[in-house]
Structure 1
Amino acid sequence: MTTIFTFANPTDLILEIPTATQNQADVYSQSFSNPTSGYQGYINELCLSAILLWLQEDFTPQAKVWPNTNVLSSFWEIVNGTAITLDATRFILIPSETIDLSELRVPQEWVDIPSWVGDYYLAVQVEPDEGYVRVWGYCTHTQLKSQGSYDPGDRTYSLDAADIINDISVLAVARQLCLEESTRSAIEEILPIPQPQAQNLITRLGNPEILTPRLAIPFQLWGGLIAHGGWRKSLYQRRLGLPEQWSVLQWLQSGVSQVAEAAGWGSFDLQLSAAGARSVDQRQPESILSRELAIPAVGYAYAGQIYELLITPQGEPDATVWRFELRNRTVGAAIPGGFKLRLLTEDLQPFPNNEDIAISAVEQLYVEVALLPGEGIVWEIEPLPENYDREILRF
């Protein structure tokens, strides 16, 4: 159970940091491009481990990290903060070691990137040596945008302690009323950036000597780059000096990369041969790439079942045609009507015949696409799979 300490301020929430997390500082120094980002990751992990447990125990066991725990380092390398979702509500945790609790400072990314925006922003003081975190207040996105001050120097929104809600016990009630009163303000759309420009930015900002890449280019460009999960991960891997982790051809030749395995990708061999054929010309086993997907699909038939996305080369071994196929993992079970499988270019543009839609229950959905060497593809599924974060598969 979460241990809660008693402090002078009765409205503060004091949570113990799990011992196992406190001992992970050395691990975090190896997962980032520089000591500053490494320590930022460590402080965020301490904050997350204590608060996620509290939310799961006091609010709902379904509280979970957004988009998923495997990609947190790609956020913490470049920005402070962590998102947790509770059903349709999103909490943004903003940890700090400062003893100055006069204001809450939130990086612009969590306020002005539409896909990152939260409902509630929690001000968290982290005490690594003492082994606890103090949640000393919270505010809504609407408060940050309407009452907060924007600092263009470090691209943060700040809200005075007097303007945030200090009594954390009010949060549970506020969340119940969330459906009736808006917690989020309308914000400007961030326009997508072209693929060549994104690659140039990743090359430039991938230099680990640039300690604060978030401040190195205009925010609209920066937001357009990192809002794309595939580009954000590419930037992170470039800053760590890692080789390409999402090459489908490399996966087929030498096995799925560790990064892709952590995301759920694997491969298996399928013996392809003509029925009854026993000649020496019988084809060798062909590798198929697969990824299991949990799709909540509330309101659909087969809600909450496990599905599988398959990628198979078509025709000759050097063919450039690839088949993406979605199936129900349960033998004999169907894909419900309303599901969609969609492919997009690396910069999220549609192309002819890029999606398959289940008008009614079907055995599978599939899209076949011809790709040039080095070309990237992004897959999407509706309804959204759990833990989904955009990937650029390189062919």
Structure 2
Amino acid sequence: MTFNTSSTFTETAQVLLEIAPDETTKAWQQTERFSTANNRWNAYLNRLSLNIILPWLREEYAPEADVFPNNASLASFWEITNGTAINCQAGRIVIIPSEAIDLSEMRIPQEWVDIPTWAAEYYIAVQVEPEDGWLRIWGYTTHAQIKAKAQYDSSDRAYSLSQEEVFSDINLLWIARQLCPDEVIRAEIDPLPALPPTQAENLLQRLGNPEIFIPRMAIPFATWGALLESSDRRQKLYQKRQGMPTQFSVLDWMQHGVSDLAANLGWGQMELQPSFVGARSSELGEKVTALVRELTIDGGKYELRVSPKVNSTAYIWRIELRNAVSSQLIPGGFKLRLLTEDLQAFENNEDVAITAVENLFIEVALTQGEGLVWEVEPTPMESNGEILKF
């Protein structure tokens, strides 16, 4: 990947980044499951922008930068609005991509400004030209600037800043943060009302219908924002709009075979020697049934395996990532991560390949009925994020 800083379009120091042809293909393949063509295109622009900007951001300014809240959540954001959040030491940054040629204004969806758990310190305007192979970071603003100076447009629930009110040099973001660390860059946000569980469930049923093309405009914003503050409800809304079950039953698959829907997503069964799942040497004659999901990552084939730990007195499951070719390793830099059903991290929920390794795995004790969400980095072509119920 090539990073270039260019002033070809204007006299200011805007950032022009190259988009290689394989990046457009990868981003398109990573954004297959959306309820409408428009939503998929929105997801594609966001995924493409993230895939290009995040490595650049890590290399130039913030090595610790990472997706907020996690890769598994991204589709649930892109199904309903535009924008992608990144957390780094300077604060939260929301990327707002657009194909618009006219750069007279920057438009920020209201969700990223007025939902307390979504709001960021900074917002970056990105012009994307997939066919021509480039994207341009043409400006940024702050949350406080939006609340103080932006015009609110109720027709599409977005805040608008003119080009003159947007900082055109992205370098200023980092300079200002270093020179003025105490500057107020996030304004106060009014809390959203709590939704009774029955009302939330009714809203999920209604807005989960994909025939409602723009659910974010179908109910008052305060209600919509309150619904989305729960990561669990946001994920369920996404799944309902795809016609997907909100969870997959691992035990049911073990007992009755993988469902047709799960098979279409790449899940299957295989028999493993217990040596792969933590058995003692005296138990090696007994085979174990594992669930396997096929994954394509950076052009390579991998397997995500889910299996019970043999002869364990506790309810322990092993989630493992392996190369599909037994003689090949997992490259350094790969990550396997587990999250709770509401997409929260927990202790020892991640395994990272510092160098090339045979496998990545996490063993976790669960009570019957608990669920987990798996996540792999780099992001598989098939994406992340099913809820597995154990």
Shorter-chain TM range is: 0.5 to 0.7
Give percent identity, aligned residues only.
43
**2:27/2:47 contact within 8 Å kept:** no
Match of 2:98 among 91, 96, 99: 96
Secondary structure of 1:153's partner? coil
Q: CA deviation at 1:308?
A: 8.7
Query: Structure 2 vs 1, CA of residues 26 and 46 (structure 1 numbering), >3 Å: closer, same or farther?
Result: closer
Residue 3 of structure 2 aligns with which residue?
Answer: 2
Q: CA deviation at 1:116?
A: 0.7
> Are 2:248 and 1:208 aligned?
no
Residue 120 of structure 2 aligns with which residue?
Answer: 118
Residue 87 of structure 2 aligns with which residue?
Answer: 85
Question: What does 1:1-395 align with in structure 2 at a 5 Å threshold?
Answer: 1-11=2-12, 12-24=14-26, 26-27=28-29, 30-87=32-89, 89-177=91-179, 179-245=181-247, 247=249, 250=252, 253=255, 266-271=306-311, 288-289=316-317
Q: Deviations over 1:287-323 (max 9, x none)?
A: 534679xxxxxxxxxxxxx999999xxxxxxxxxxxx
* Count of aligned residue pairs for this structure pair: 309
> Could you state the TM-score of these two structures normalised by the residue count of structure 1?
0.67
**2:90/2:177 contact within 8 Å kept:** no
> Could you state the TM-score of these two structures normalised by the residue count of structure 2?
0.68
Q: CA deviation at 1:268?
A: 2.1
Q: Extract unaligned runs of 5+ from structure 1.
A: 274-285, 293-305, 312-324, 331-365, 380-388
Q: CA deviation at 1:190?
A: 1.6
Q: Residues of 2 paired with 1:259 and 1:267: CA distance?
A: 16
**1:14/1:133 contact within 8 Å kept:** yes
**1:291/1:309 contact within 8 Å kept:** no
**2:340/2:372 contact within 8 Å kept:** no
Query: Structure 2 vs 1, CA of residues 329 and 227 (structure 1 numbering), >3 Å: closer, same or farther?
Result: closer
Query: Structure 2 vs 1, CA of residues 390 and 32 (structure 1 numbering), >3 Å: closer, same or farther?
Result: closer
**1:80/1:94 contact within 8 Å kept:** yes
**1:207/1:239 contact within 8 Å kept:** yes
Secondary structure of 2:309's partner? strand
Whichever residue aligns with residue 7 of structure 1, its letter is: T
Q: Could you say which structure has the greater relative contact order, defined with CA pairs below 8 angstroms and 6 or more residues apart?
A: 2
**1:47/1:95 contact within 8 Å kept:** yes
Q: Residues of 1 paired with 2:30 and 2:40: CA distance?
A: 5
Secondary structure of 2:3's partner? coil
**1:28/1:39 contact within 8 Å kept:** no
Q: CA deviation at 1:27?
A: 2.2
**2:247/2:387 contact within 8 Å kept:** no
Q: CA deviation at 1:156?
A: 0.5
Q: CA deviation at 1:391?
A: 10
CA RMSD of aligned residues (A): 3.9
Whichever residue aligns with residue 153 of structure 2, its letter is: D
Q: Residues of 2 paired with 1:19 and 1:288: CA distance?
A: 43
Query: Structure 2 vs 1, CA of residues 19 and 154 (structure 1 numbering), >3 Å: closer, same or farther?
Result: same
Query: Structure 2 vs 1, CA of residues 238 and 168 (structure 1 numbering), >3 Å: closer, same or farther?
Result: same
Q: CA deviation at 1:205?
A: 1.0
Q: CA deviation at 1:99?
A: 1.2
Query: Structure 2 vs 1, CA of residues 138 and 67 (structure 1 numbering), >3 Å: closer, same or farther?
Result: same
Whichever residue aligns with residue 59 of structure 1, its letter is: Y
Q: Residues of 1 paired with 2:197 and 2:387: CA distance?
A: 11
Q: Residues of 1 paired with 2:339 and 2:126: CA distance?
A: 39
